[in-house]
Amino acid sequence: MFSEVSAPQEGSCSLLLCRPGSEDQEPSVFDRVKPAYSPCSERFKLGERSFNRQYAHIYATRLMQMSPLLTERAQQKWGADVRIRKLCDLQMGEQCCIVGTLFKHMELQPSILKEISEEHNLLPQPPRTRYISESDELILEDELQRIKLEGNIDVDKFVTGSVIAIYGAEKNDGKFTVDDFCTADLPPQAPRTTLSSDRFVLLLSGLGLGGSHADSMLALQLLVDMVTGHLGDQGEQSGASTISRVLLAGNLLSQSTQDKDASTKAKYLTKKTQAGTVDAMRLLDEMLMQLVSSVPVDVMPGQYDPTNYTLPQQPLHHCMFPLSSSYPTLQLASNPHQATLDGVRILGTSGQNVKDIQKYSSMDSHLEILENTLRLRHLAPTAPDTLGCYPFYLKDPFILEECPHVYFSGNAPSYQAKRITGAEGQEVLLVAIPEFSSTQTACLVNLRTLECEPIRFSSFSAGDDEESEMNISH
**In the window 23-42, what residues touch other proteins (CB under 8 A)?**
23-24, 26-32, 34
- Whole-number Å distance between alpha carbons of 227 and 291: 8
**Cβ nearer to other proteins, comparing 205 with 352:** 205
Site for other proteins in 205-264 (CB under 8 A): 214, 217-218, 221-223, 226, 228-237, 239-241
How many positions of this chain bind other proteins (CB under 8 A)? 79
Give yes or no for residue 334 binding other proteins (CB under 8 A): no
**Cβ nearer to other proteins, comparing 314 with 373:** 314
Return the axis-axis angle of helices 352-359 and 366-376, rounded to nearest 10°: 100
Which member of 141, 180, 259, 464 binds other proteins (CB under 8 A)?
464
In order, the DSSP letters of 134-156 are TT-EEEEE-SS-EEEEEES--GG
Give yes or no for residue 173 binding other proteins (CB under 8 A): no
Residue in 93, 106, 80, 83 with CA at minimum distance from that of residue 177: 93
DSSP 335: B
Burial of 189 (0-12, 13-18, 19+ CB in 10 A): middle
Q: Taking the mean position of all CA atoms in its chain, how far away is CA 198? A: 25
Q: Which amino acid is at 7?
A: A
- Whole-number Å distance between alpha carbons of 381 and 399: 9
Give yes or no for residue 329 binding other proteins (CB under 8 A): yes
**Binding range to other proteins, per CB under 8 A, among 12-20, 144-152, 341-349, 376-384:** 12-20
**Cβ nearer to other proteins, comparing 178 with 222:** 222
| Contact residues for 322 (Cβ-Cβ < 8 A; gap 6+) | 285
Give yes or no for residue 47 binding other proteins (CB under 8 A): yes
- Whole-number Å distance between alpha carbons of 224 and 207: 12
Minimum distance from CB of 277 to other proteins (Å)?
17
**Cβ nearer to other proteins, comparing 164 with 330:** 330
Site string for other proteins, 270-299 (x = CB under 8 A): ----------------x--xx-xxxxx---
- Whole-number Å distance between alpha carbons of 408 and 450: 13
In order, the DSSP letters of 282-323 are HHHHHHHHHHHTTS-EEEE--TTSSS-SSBSBPPPPGGG-TT
**Binding range to other proteins, per CB under 8 A, among 60-68, 180-188, 404-412, 448-456:** 448-456
**Binding range to other proteins, per CB under 8 A, among 11-19, 103-111, 305-313, 403-411:** 11-19
Q: Which residues pair with 110 in a beta bridge?
A: none
Minimum distance from CB of 46 to other proteins (Å)?
9
- Whole-number Å distance between alpha carbons of 336 and 249: 9
Which member of 38, 125, 326, 362 binds other proteins (CB under 8 A)?
326
**Cβ nearer to other proteins, comparing 183 with 324:** 324
**Binding range to other proteins, per CB under 8 A, among 19-27, 63-71, 373-381, 424-432:** 19-27
Give yes or no for residue 455 binding other proteins (CB under 8 A): yes
CA distances from 199 to 5, 343, 355 (A): 10, 12, 30
Site for other proteins in 58-117 (CB under 8 A): none
Site string for other proteins, 426-445 (x = CB under 8 A): ---------------x--x-
Which member of 9, 14, 121, 274 binds other proteins (CB under 8 A)?
14
HSE-CB at 293 with a 13 A cutoff on CA atoms is: 12
Site for other proteins in 299-318 (CB under 8 A): 318
Query: Which region, left, alpha or beta, applies to residue 264 given φ > 0 means left and ψ of -120 to 50 means alpha?
Result: alpha
Site for other proteins in 361-420 (CB under 8 A): none
Which member of 10, 17, 80, 92 binds other proteins (CB under 8 A)?
17
